[in-house]
Amino acid sequence: MQNTAERIEALKASNPVNNRGNAVIWPSKPCSRCGGCGRYSYNMMHGDTCYGCSGSGVQVLNKKVAEIRAEYLEAVRKQTRPLTSDLKVGDRLAVYNADASKRSAWAGEAGTPAVEGISGKLPTDVEYVTITSVEVIEGTEEHNQGRSSSSHTEFNPVTRETVKIVKTWYCGWVTFTYEYHGEQRTVETGTNNILCRSNTIDREPFVQRAWEAVAKSRVAR
């Protein structure tokens, strides 16, 4: 009888390749929409690219694998593009380099937290600092850094009327501190601002969990 490691290796050997001939990291199956060719009905915006697999010809194997992959992508987002409300003590945060000649045109003052550029990419010339304290004040009408709202319509089957529903929420405040070249700095900003930091998230533990879940489900059948 195969052990878990042997079952995983056997499953990996049967994992499909995408339509470019490349190996697929996550447990996958041929796309159920296009049958694995990566092409479906034509439209002017995306041509005949299949929306079921984004043209790759493969989809994640099942709901559990999709959940683990989504968990990985959320970890990447929090690591590379965290909201200020995601910050925790001990986090490493990218700040602009002290050398002004190396900074991008849109960079702020040296030592201030780096934010997304127009391209959404982290500037190459940054330093990293460690967050030493974080205080979050949730957004309320009294304590807010900005108000946002959205609206939609709902049909009331009793009154037979269509009602407009308006939802309003408030952006809270985040105060965090870090040391930059021996100087203690404090930043106060909104909870929904996007910052930048390193992109070191190891994908392998998530992928391994996905394969272990698939191997376990095959044994349980």
Residue 157 buriedness (CB in 10 A; 0-12 / 13-18 / 19+): exposed
Q: Express each pLDDT in 65-124 by its tens digit.
A: 999 999 998 888 887 777 888 888 998 888 887 665 455 544 567 888 876 554 455 666
List the chain domain ranges: 1-82+200-221, 83-196
pLDDT of residue 37: 92
pTM of the model: 0.62
pLDDT of residue 118: 44
Residues of the chain with pLDDT under 50: 101, 105-106, 118-119
Taking CA atoms, 150 is separated from 33, 140, 145, 167, in Å, by 34, 16, 17, 5
